[in-house]
Amino acid sequence: MPTIMSAVVLLSGGLDSATVLRMAHATGQRIHALSFRYGQRHTMELEMARKQALSLPGVAHRIMDLQLSLFGGSALTADIPVPKGGVDENTIPVTYVPARNMVFLSLALAWAESLGAQHLYIGVNAVDYSGYPDCRPEFIQSFQQTANLATKAGVEGHPFTVHTPLINLTKAQIIQQGLALGVDYGLTRSCYDPDAQGAGCGLCDACRLRLQGFAEAGVPDPAPYQGP
């Protein structure tokens, strides 16, 4: 009997990672999904992550507390207003959380090595990426190289691979592929500044990229938005 391989999937509860979770699950691997409670304003995402993980058979899910707010420095974790004027492709926005994907991938790596898993999945995207440096392919490649120098598994000939199945897709393509795999996008949230019920503002970068993606894909966005 062939060994079933294991993978760790970073699952935020947003649109991208919900799609990656389905893609990884469709490979037949044993999936371990990892979410973080890192002081983000939008904890509704974590409820969505939990529901996404529960919607698939055999997925183990952990939510780890992470005190990134101890460090400050981002509109997502500190008391800095979320910009709502539109996406500026040429600057790194204040919603950037310092070294976030480096931290998240390192913790995914720690879990993967403990499990004997060699595959990591992250929903970064270099097309509609909002200008974050830690969503670029050169970062991912460098991380993988470092991971294989950092770990017992890497040194002993069981290298890790970081999979980024969304990296070259537009938001519309991500949505189309996710729908084909059965993702319920009603159980995802993307807004950086939702109201108390979790309804999106429709104006922050994340809402704009998401709404534009659904419009281009020609399907309605099932997530709730605040009224006018």
List the binding residues for Zn(2+). 191, 201, 204, 207
Binding site feature residues for ATP: 11-21
167 binds a second copy, rule: CB under 8 A: no
Q: Under rule CB under 8 A, which residues in 87-126 are in contact with a second copy?
A: 92, 96-103, 106-107, 109-111, 113-115
Residues annotated within the binding site are 11-21, 191, 201, 204, 207
DSSP symbol at 119: E
Instruction: Give, as ranges, the residues between 121 and 150 that touch a second copy (CB under 8 A).
Output: 133-134, 136, 138-139, 142-143, 145-147, 149-150
Query: What residues between 36 and 95 interact with a second copy by CB under 8 A?
Result: 62, 64-68, 70-74, 92
Considering beta carbons, is residue 57 or 152 the nearer one to a second copy?
Answer: 152
Give the residue carrying structure tokens 């890192």. 38
Residue position matching structure tokens 């998401």: 210
Q: Listing from the earlier edge strand, what are the strands of the sheet with 119-121?
A: 30-37, 6-10, 119-121, 161-163
Measured from the CB of residue 228, what is the shortest distance to a second copy in angstroms?
A: 34
Residue 172: both structure tokens together: 């519309």
Q: Distance (Å, rounded) from C-alpha 118 to C-alpha 102? A: 17
Sign of CA dihedral 169, 128, 105, 102: positive
Q: Residues 51, 12: contact at Cβ < 8 Å?
A: no
Q: Which residues bind a second copy (CB under 8 A)?
A: 62, 64-68, 70-74, 92, 96-103, 106-107, 109-111, 113-115, 133-134, 136, 138-139, 142-143, 145-147, 149-152, 154-156
